[in-house]
Structure 1
């Protein structure tokens, strides 16, 4: 069926427009080779890249000043090129067909950055119900579902909710981001969360304020550990 659909409606790479991408479903090898992965050296906790040579365990200034609630955070690539284009299309243009490609990037990052680590639940960063109603879907939930399938884990979007609407983080400073999401999330105190190892999924991580607020809520609800993975680092 897929071969037939490709003949009738040829897939084109979202980066260059060439038909029949070979790498993933909608990204060709050439465009994938231009992706900028997030590589060491970076903070052992939040995964924030650092300039220069670091040949020892490194904790950034922000994490040293106040340890985050999550136990680790990693991002697959920089928010640029075909990755940025895919995430913008997925988030704003209802490009649901791109979710498997982005999830494959997440899965590759997961295997590289969390080797040997297992998880009990995959939880997406939630949208407030008003924004979800307006957009019609939560792109992070789509990614969490696809990633959970790849690692044979349960996707649990209902365990975490955003209890108040928040302004978009895009144009806010770091202190404003912290204030914007403070106490904005709440986890459901359910038996399936107690003592569980949670993998928190989002599309983009910038300062980490949102995922940190989510991790606080999940641990308050009983989660044993919370590790973060995002498709891109802003």
Structure 2
């Protein structure tokens, strides 16, 4: 019987090795799998390469992983914003390597890994420092830069609902990079707020099929002082 439900975050994260390339879903603070990041810090893997849209906010979530000294390199589109002080300090002191990738190229490089595409040409970045050392070509009178897939050893993503086969649905903008990261990684671990019986998820609403998911773990929504629920808070 296929059952991908993990009893705990720690169980779901077992086996992530030092030096792994870890894709972490999220766009800013939307869809960040905070419980899995906290579990990864506790798990202890080091020298990680992290793939994310940005480089953490404040000192929580991804920023906490950077602050713990577990990340060797980060591949992202927007490393600096008003509260990116953890990244700034590490990068300026030479303790963290950065590969800056335009957002569209980042999404497509991850998608290419899952789709089995060896490389692709993109016009984005041509004539800039981001194209330095890369093959360029003119196609139909327009210059392009050759980009290669980004493969992940593991993807950590946040979903809304799942079943024991690993089929996933998402909540609004929390979806962002989750689906392509699940495809581009060898192993995908997802948090969900609800686990339902097989057949309860409308097949037309399943965004990430279970074939791309290794483990799911249920986490709670945490009530806020305003009486609502905080998405992505540590259970």
Fold shared per TM-score above 0.5:
no
TM score, norm. by length of structure 1: 0.29
The structure richer in helix per residue is 1
TM score, norm. by length of structure 2: 0.29
